[in-house]
Amino acid sequence: LEGVRRIQERAAARQQTGPVFQGIAGGIGTLPAAVADAVRAGGGEIRTETPVLGLTRTESGWAVRTEARTIAADGVVLATPAWSAGTLLAAE
């Protein structure tokens, strides 16, 4: 029992102080806008209120099928509930 106490005391003495968790400056609510800004700064395009009917992998990226047309994309970010993303990616 004394040996266990000594081990616990040594471990407690070695523990670093300071925060265990780290947050995002401005709060988590700033994350979506920051991601959108980064996408646009990199030349990406964000389409909102454009329901996607299907996603197909192509040699150069993705074909995104909407009601109006099919959009060629290098990459796709799915900002949807899990069930919706699962449906879109089921064939992939």
Looking at residue 4, what is its pLDDT? 79
Q: What single-letter DSSP state applies at residue 92? A: -
Parse the chain into domains and list their residue ranges: 2-89
Strand partners, 29: none
Looking at residue 57, what is its pLDDT? 95
Single-letter amino acid, residue 67: E
Q: Which residues contact 91 (CB under 8 A, 6 or more apart)?
A: 54, 55, 56
Single-letter amino acid, residue 72: A
- The predicted-structure confidence for 33-64, as pLDDT tens digits, reads as follows 999 999 999 999 998 888 999 999 999 999 99
Statement: the pTM of the whole predicted model exceeds 0.85: no
> To the nearest whole percent, how much of the chain has pLDDT over 70?
96
- The predicted-structure confidence for 67-85, as pLDDT tens digits, reads as follows 999 999 999 988 889 999 9
Alpha helices in 1-92 (DSSP H): 2-14, 31-41, 82-89
